[in-house]
Structure 1
């Protein structure tokens, strides 16, 4: 990336710092607030994205969609989530 523009990494880190600052401000009122990415959509959650419950011997995550405070599709095709 630095060959293209040496400032790209700094700009990326600045954008992340902005998100970090925002979530810290929100957490003053909603301590469990977080960002959650689902289907390339970034969601601002006021609590955990899922509530884990046991059904028999298996653990199931129930979505907490009612805790979505805001969302954006601006990064569709540009962001993803999940494990490696």
Structure 2
């Protein structure tokens, strides 16, 4: 299903996005929770040595950083990026 088909099913069939996904991939939520728990566990371990470490999403990438993405005067701190990946593709933004 593309996005338009998903929206149609949600709006016309009184279905949720989660229900639609679980219909075709019953383990998707469990897998997602396992992956995010693993990311969280890694960050907890890293913060034992670098307490300001964090994940940051920028331009469809996921970055592991040893500090904030931007300084107090809003300047990018790209030198704090340890590694960046485009897998998974993560969109940025806010609701």
Structure 2 residue runs without a partner (length 5+): 1-20
Structure 1 residue runs without a partner (length 5+): 54-60
Say which structure, 1 or 2, has more relative contact order (CA 8 Å, 6+ apart).
1
* CA RMSD across the alignment: 1.0
Higher helix residue share: 2
TM-score normalised by L of structure 1? 0.83
Partner of 2:83: 70
Equivalent residue for 1:16, pick from 24, 36, 41: 36
Aligned residues: 75
Whole-Å separation in 1 of the counterparts to 2:75 and 2:31: 36
TM-score normalised by L of structure 2? 0.74
Partner of 1:57: none
Partner of 1:56: none
Partner of 2:59: 39
Whole-Å separation in 2 of the counterparts to 1:74 and 1:11: 15
Please say which structure displays the higher CA radius of gyration: 2
Offset of residue 74 of structure 1: 2.4
Higher strand residue share: 1
